[in-house]
Amino acid sequence: MRNSVLPHLIIINGLIWLASFRFPMLPFYLAVHKEGLGFEVWQIFTYFFTHSSFWHILANMIALWSLGSAVEPVVGSREFLIMYLFVGIVSGLALAFLDPSPAPVLGASTSVSGLLTAFAYFFPRSQLVIFPIPLPIKAKWLAIGFAIISLALFLIQPVMGGISHFGHLCGLVLGWIYVRWLWRRWSI
């Protein structure tokens, strides 16, 4: 797609991840911390552009590219960027003030979860194959299944090492809110 923001988002994530080799504490400073445990307002704008490991960034960027390359042409580049930022920023606020886990959160998973919801909204019958499951799953059922699994894991153990199930839930819900109620209202 001409003038796509998708490659720019991936490049920004990649550059920040590469910068963390030179500045090892960068992911810690960019992660969103909980209120009273090191929270700074700017973290809600930075946490979803930084990642903790190669596999973390690889999984998120593959999902961003796979889902985003279908959603961006439907909503347009400007709206795609607004949706991506909206889901990331509002999820960051929820993570800072409502997440029971004291651990800092980083990664594009919140915004990517929002993209999964948008993809399922626009292409509910499209089939997706998610590694390591070798069977195609309809997008609608994948989003619902991911929400159920994230909710169950969050309820079972809200503080789970390295994975923010609360963040995934925030992204899924905010992605749905955006495409269902805000997308056409905010279009210019």
Query: Would you kindly state where each structural domain of the chain is located, as residue ranges?
Result: 6-186
Mean pLDDT of 129-140: 88
Superfamily of chain region 6-186: Rhomboid-like (1.20.1540.10)
The answer to whether the beta carbons of residues 145 and 137 sit under 8 Å apart is yes
User: What letter does residue 105 receive in the DSSP assignment?
Assistant: B
Mean pLDDT of 55-65: 95
List pLDDT tens digits, range 140-156: 999 999 999 999 999 99
CA separation for the pair 110, 130 (Å, rounded):
18
Mean pLDDT of 157-185: 86
**Helices 6-22 and 54-75 meet at what angle, rounded to 10?**
160
The answer to whether the beta carbons of residues 176 and 146 sit under 8 Å apart is no
CA 138 to each of CA 63, 134, 170: distance values in angstroms, whole numbers, following the listed order = 16, 13, 22
CA separation for the pair 15, 183 (Å, rounded):
29
pLDDT tier, 182 (very low <50, low <70, confident <90, very high otherwise): confident
Tally the residues of the chain.
188
Q: Is the model's pLDDT at 184 over the cut of 90?
A: no
* CB contact set of 75 (below 8 Å; sequence gap of 6+): 83, 118, 179, 183
The residues with which 155 forms a beta bridge, in sequence order, are none
- Spacing of C-alpha 115 from chain mean position: 7
Cβ atoms < 10 Å from Cβ of 27 = 22
| Nearest CA among 13, 186, 6, 188 for reference residue 86 | 186
Q: Give the pTM.
A: 0.91
Could you please report the per-residue DSSP string of 5-22? SHHHHHHHHHHHHHHHHH
pLDDT tier, 177 (very low <50, low <70, confident <90, very high otherwise): very high
Residue-level pLDDT at 134: 85
CA separation for the pair 41, 39 (Å, rounded):
7
List pLDDT tens digits, range 10-56: 999 999 999 999 999 999 999 999 887 888 999 999 999 999 999 99
